[in-house]
Chains A and B, each alone.
Chain A
C-alpha cells in the first residue's frame, strides 16, 4: 500500500463492510408496508362483519387473524431477505457475513420476544394490547439493529416505538395505529432508503 489515498479508502471500506449490513433493500420496506396495510384492511373488514352478526363466536376469528398475521410476517421477512440478498449479490458482497448476522441477531431477539409476548396475550384473552406490544418490540429491535446498518433504521425504530406507546394508551385505535406503524411508516422509510441509496 504505497499510495496513501488507496490505503485510506481500503481502510474505510473494510471498517464499513465488516461492521455494517448495507444491502437492506428499500423496495422491500415499501412492499412490507403494503402487505401490512392489506392485512390491516382485511382484519378491519372481518371485525365489521362480526359486529353485524351479533352473537357470533369470536374463536374462529382469532384463528383467522393468527393465520393472517403469520402470512403477512412471512411475506414481509421473505421479501426483505430475498431482495436484500439480490442487492448484496449485485454489489458483489456476501449476504451472510458477520455484520448481517449481528444485524439479524439484534433485530430478531426483541422481535421474537414480542411475538411470543403477543401469543401470551392471546392465550390469556387480552387482545387490546397486541398492537402496542408488536409495535413496541419491533421498534426496540430496529433501534438495536440500527447499530449494524444505515442510521435511518434508528429513526424508523423510534417512530414505531412512539406509535406503539400511543397504541398502549389508546387501545381502541390499536388497529389504526398498527396500520400507521407497520404500513405507512414502512412505506415512507422504504421509499426514503430507495431514494437515497438505490437509484
Chain B
C-alpha cells in the first residue's frame, strides 16, 4: 500500500471538512459554518477544491423556500482520507522508533 502525503488535506479547512463528512452521512453548508471558524468565500473555495478532486459530492435543494446545499464524501474521498490517516499514523510510528 502506498502511503503518501495527500496535498488535498494539507489545508486545515479541507481536513476539517473531510473529517466531518467521514463522521456524518451528509452535512450542509451552514452546518460547516457552525462547526468551523471560516468565512463563506473561504469555505466555498475549499469545498470546490474537494469537489473537483471528486472527494466529495454536492446536491442543491430547497427546504421550503430556503436553498440548502448538502455535501457527502464519495468512496474515492473516503479511501483517500483513510490513506492519509495511515500516512499520519506511520509518520508518528517512525518518529517514536
Query: How distant is the Cα of A10 from the Cα of B14 in the complex, in angstroms?
Result: 11
Query: How distant is the Cα of A8 from the Cα of B92 in the complex, in angstroms?
Result: 10
> CB-CB contacts of B12-39 with A at 8 A, as 1s and 0s?
1001100110111001100100111000
Is the pair A11, B15 in contact by a Cβ cutoff of 8 Å? Answer: yes
Chain A residues bordering chain B, tally (CB within 8 A): 18
Query: How distant is the Cα of A8 from the Cα of B9 in the complex, in angstroms?
Result: 12
Is the pair B27, A18 in contact by a Cβ cutoff of 8 Å? Answer: yes
Is the pair B85, A18 in contact by a Cβ cutoff of 8 Å? Answer: no
B12 partner residues in chain A, CB cutoff 8 A: 1, 10
CB-nearest residue of chain A relative to B30?
A: A98
Most buried by B among A7, A16, A18: A18
Is the pair A7, B27 in contact by a Cβ cutoff of 8 Å? Answer: no
CB-nearest residue of chain A relative to B26?
A: A98
Quick one: which of A1, A94, A96 contacts B15, CB cutoff 8 A? Answer: A1
Is B91 engaged at the interface, CB distance under 8 Å to the other chain? yes
CB-nearest residue of chain A relative to B22?
A: A15
Chain B residues bordering chain A, tally (CB within 8 A): 23
Is the pair B24, A19 in contact by a Cβ cutoff of 8 Å? Answer: yes
B14-67 with Cβ < 8 A to chain A: 15-16, 19-20, 22-24, 27-28, 31, 34-36
B10 partner residues in chain A, CB cutoff 8 A: 1
Query: How distant is the Cα of A18 from the Cα of B11 in the complex, in angstroms?
Result: 19
CB-nearest residue of chain B relative to A17?
A: B35
B15 partner residues in chain A, CB cutoff 8 A: 1, 7, 10-11, 14
A1-29 with Cβ < 8 A to chain B: 1, 4-5, 7-8, 10-12, 14-19
B19 partner residues in chain A, CB cutoff 8 A: 10-12, 14-15, 18
Chain B proximity of A156: nearest CB distance (Å): 23
Beyond A4-B95, A7-B15, 5 additional contacts (C-beta under 8 Å) are A8-B85, A12-B19, A14-B35, A97-B34, A98-B35
A: which residues have CB within 8 A of B?
1, 4-5, 7-8, 10-12, 14-19, 94, 96-98
Which 10 A-B residue pairings sit nearest by Cβ, starting from the closest?
A14-B19, A15-B23, A18-B20, A4-B88, A98-B31, A19-B23, A4-B91, A11-B19, A14-B16, A15-B19
